[in-house]
Amino acid sequence: MHLSVKLAPTFDYPTLEQFWRAADDLGFPAVWNYDHFYGLVDHADPTLEGWTTLAAMAVLVRRARVGCLVSGVTYRNPAVLAKMAVTVDHISGGRMDFGLGAGWHEAEHRGYGIDFPRPGTRVEMLDEALTVIRRLWTEESVTFAGRFFTLTDALCEPKPVQRPGPPIIVGAAQPKMLRVAARHADEWNMPSTSAQEWRAASSRLDVACAELGRDPSSIKRGVQLFLHPNRPEQVDAQLDSIAEYAQAGCAHVVLSFYQPPGDALLGRCAELL
């Protein structure tokens, strides 16, 4: 079982830096943030931008892999995002994982004037964006005329440190998104509901892979467990559930903290490694 940790950039920078360094020192194999502009519950919660904090994380975290779980496809042109990802991959020395999803936070789209299409359209955008990004990482130049994105002799130099590119993680639960994961993902991640629902979604991913002619075992399976350190009983229940996810075939658990964990809790989680 692969066990990593995540803290959203909704805390001041010294708190984030302390968490990143502690997680790295304790031996977690990966450290994550996320990509939003507003708070998830209270929109006014101070929130630092995900990719600039990820670049800082790539410098301060010396051993663990780093990544954003996940970015929203609607926020940036995919060619620009591909370039940003390559930059962080170089800053980290080839330790970056690339997470992308369809986006969901309508309020921040409306506030910033970013188009927020219907869910099906956002899924189609994600499919197209991942096609473009993979090509930019691997081809000398890219010309592409899609429904949503157009590139003309587009360059992406330098190429990523990791070849053919950083591992792609797709966050997905619904059937259309699972087909996108089956087509593009090196790893699939689903926010936790229950081990039973996770197992059912994993089975649907198997079906999507079969329909596309892909070996289901080529996609690593992961789950994101949300922990509230100010509610110890909730944390206990989530940590206890890890065994159920492992039995269901989950290979990677991301422990996502809603408040910064103290040293004792983070050390307790590290013991599960």
Read off φ and ψ for residue 164, nearest 5 degrees.
Answer: -80, 0
**Residue 40: per-residue pLDDT:** 85
**Hey, which residues does 32 pair with through a beta bridge?**
6, 67
Q: pLDDT in tens for each of the 273 residues of the chain?
A: 899 999 999 999 999 999 999 999 999 999 999 999 998 888 989 999 999 999 999 999 999 999 999 999 999 999 999 999 999 999 999 999 999 999 989 999 999 999 999 999 999 999 999 999 999 999 999 999 999 999 999 999 999 999 999 999 999 989 999 999 999 999 999 998 899 999 999 999 999 999 999 999 999 999 999 999 999 999 999 999 999 999 999 999 999 999 999 999 999 999 998
What pTM was computed for the model?
A: 0.94
**Residue 126: per-residue pLDDT:** 97
Tell me how long the chain is.
273
Using CB atoms within 10 Å of the CB of residue 254, give its burial: 0 to 12 exposed, 13 to 18 middle, 19+ buried.
Answer: buried
Q: Cβ atoms within 10 A of the Cβ of 264, count?
A: 9
Q: What is the token pair recorded at 258? A: 């809603």
Q: How far apart are CA 54 and CA 35, in angstroms?
A: 10
Q: For the chain, count helices (H), then strands (E).
A: 10, 10
**Residue 192: per-residue pLDDT:** 87
For each of the domains in the chain, give its residue range(s) and CATH number, in order of start.
2-271 (3.20.20.30)
Q: What is the token pair recorded at 135? A: 């090509």
